[in-house]
Structure 1
Amino acid sequence: MKNKLRHYRTVRIENQDGRFTIRGMGKWYHQWRDPYHLLLTIPWVGFAGIVSIAYLLLNALFALAYLAGGDSLEGAKPGSFSDAFFFSVQTLASIGYGAIHPKTFYANSIVTLESIAGLLLIAVLTGLAFARFSRPIAKVLFSQFILITTHNRQPTLTFRVANERHNFILEATAQMYLIIDELTDEGAFMRRIHELKLMRHRTPSLVLTWTIMHSIDSDSPLYGLTASDLEQRHANISILVGGVDETVAYTITARHVYATEDILFEHRFEDIIYTSENGDRYFDYSRFHQVQPLD
């Protein structure tokens, strides 16, 4: 166990603008010990760069192998690294111009090994490229603020989300969690996670917008807490929204974290739906994040 633990460094948790984040979490350059995950999460520019460098190094190694066999390539200058390198490129890509070809058993053996390496390389890169293209990505917009307001004469925590793709997210679900500092009865510090019960945690389809609410009653972990309490106890509210993207039939998940400074008391969202003179209804997404204080 100790040998395994040597590979892990100390994890640093930072408080940035009221949000607790793990340093390096989600960063592709912290995944060198997991190359498959690295190649799936690295930006496309970095992916192309790694593939190109690996391709050049592989051809350079085979070029050195051809040179180690002496004058083993017909049509190539003896001892020419460039000729051996470009012959390796042609072999690995199955181009086969024919200007240079192996003339010894040793060179043919290296060509055989390189052909096998080329097949494996193409198979791996094809799989990685397909996995990157087919990876489901949610396009869910979360409101900038989460509000504690009054709904049906009851204090209510509310925020709204929108489907930026404007297609159907089927069987959309939402989960809300309060993450807050607490002390146990023995005085031990804990970072506790409380699930917040939603008035409606599921909708048949998320097409445009969805206003999600949690009633702050006597059973709610937020009951009786003020803005000062939430700030002193470093409260965060974590949101998970998921469903099935109808276009690609993949399950997608989006997450968002609201810090204490994102929680506004006694405000309400501005209405984004308006009706034209002919009776048509429109959604004005320019007001999606806008709030106003209660009268």
Structure 2
Amino acid sequence: MIKNQRRDPGTGDKVQYRSGRTINKDGSFNVKRIGRTYILVSTFEWLINIRWSLFFLVLILGYTFINLVFALIYLNIGVEHIGGIESLSTNNPLLISYFFSFQTFTTVGYGALHPIGLTTNIIASFEAFLGFMMFAIATGLLYSRFSRPKAKIIFSKQALMVEKEDKKMLQFRIGNLKSNTLMEAEIEVIMQKKEIGPGGPVYNFYNLKLERKYILFFPLNWTVVHEITEKSPLYGFNEDTKDDFEFELLIHFKAFDDTYSEHVHQRYSYISDEIAFGCKFVPAYYSDRHGHTVFDLNKISKYEKIN
């Protein structure tokens, strides 16, 4: 008999045409919103949450594009309305316009290039104001990204089905990628299983009972274990019957970040195809001759076959 069945945790229980995973590998929900949205707020939140490389790429491309637009405006007005061009080593009108736009947008004002005429002065004044606002927004984004506590938990690429001492267990492993101290770590695993109900296929949800769902200190890896008994929703799941099971393990991790004195969260998921059978994890840490415990994050996902 399966116990620990729970209500929909908020991901929806209707199957319809959904075939993708509920939680993506990066922890985001596989949800596409349409209809009324607040574009400016959504864009600001998107810029805060994207990875650093993409964030700087967006800033550089945006900066280049805006300056190029103003450079084309100055080019259309005529470079003769830009004073000091004789000090440049180029006669290319586009480059002259771009250099002038660059200096105006950043409010650097080296003193060599300057606007001549009413139209050019008006446009340059507007560009300088826009540049001031854009740099203020960029500063706010950088501060938000640096000051916002965020978990960087690495999950093993696959979960394992392990048999040990006549017991069957589901295991996956996690570790902290950051060097900060996490305490009071908690984890919850919900199994989202596709089943046939009175009205057709639906998603049912089950809480997986874990060997430990809470640890006080989290300096090393944590192997999360669920023992498969007759009461488990995974009872009967093995290498021969895996095609009959269609499920996703929805994982929520929470811990207290001692650096920021705030709680951090992270999500992850495994689908039934990401379960390996007859394997065990390779130890991820060891003691060196100096008495230090060495934790190798590169071994979080490493496992070997059990003979």
Aligned counterpart in structure 1 of residue 174 of structure 2, from 151, 161, 184: 161
- In 2: Cα distance, 1:92 partner to 1:277 partner: 58
Farther-moved stretch of structure 1 (283-292 vs 161-170): 283-292
Which residue is 1:146 aligned to?
A: 160
2:12 maps to: none
1:100-150 deviation digits (Å, cap 9, x = unpaired) = 323433333223212210111101222233444455241334374423435
1:114-129 pair list within 5 angstroms: 114-129=127-142
Equivalent residue number for residue 65 of structure 2: 57
* Secondary structure of 1:257's aligned partner: strand
Query: Partner letter of residue 194 of structure 1?
Result: Y
Q: Which runs of 5+ in 1 are unaligned?
A: 1-10
Instruction: Please name the residue that 1:74 is paired with.
Output: 83
Q: Cα 1:181–1:211, aligned 2, differ >3 Å: closer, same or farther? A: same
Structure 1 position 76, deviation (Å)? 4.3
Superposition map of 1:133-282 within 5 A: 133-134=146-147, 136-142=150-156, 144-150=158-164, 155-165=168-178, 167-184=180-197, 186=198, 188-249=200-261, 251-257=264-270, 259-260=272-273, 262-264=275-277
Q: Report sequence identity in percent.
A: 25
Q: Deviations over 1:66-124 (max 9, x none)?
A: 45656544334799444333222212112212223234333332232122101111012
> Taking structure 1 as reference, are residues 105 and 139 closer, same or farther at Cα in structure 2, changes over 3 Å only?
same
- In 2: Cα distance, 1:52 partner to 1:93 partner: 13
Structure 2: segments with no counterpart, 5+ residues = 1-16, 34-38
Q: CA deviation at 1:291?
A: 4.9
TM-aligned CA distance change 1:253 to 1:201, over 3 Å: same
- Which residue does the alignment assign to 1:87? 100
What's the C-alpha RMSD, in Å, of the aligned pairs? 4.3
- Whole-Å Cα distance in 2 between the matches of residues 159 and 54 of structure 1? 41
Q: How many residues align?
A: 273
Higher RCO (CA 8 Å, separation ≥ 6 residues): 2
Q: TM-score w.r.t. structure 1 length?
A: 0.69
Change (3 A) 1:210 1:39: closer
Q: Can you list the C-alpha shifts for 1:178-217, whole angstroms capped at 9, x where unaligned?
A: 2322111x26112333221223211112111323232434
Aligned mates of 2:226, 2:19 — CA distance in 1: 28
CA distance change for structure 1 residues 271 and 101 in 2, over 3 Å: closer, same or farther? closer
The answer to whether 1:13 aligns with 2:27 is no
35 and 283 in structure 1: CA distance in 2 versus 1, 3 angstrom threshold: closer
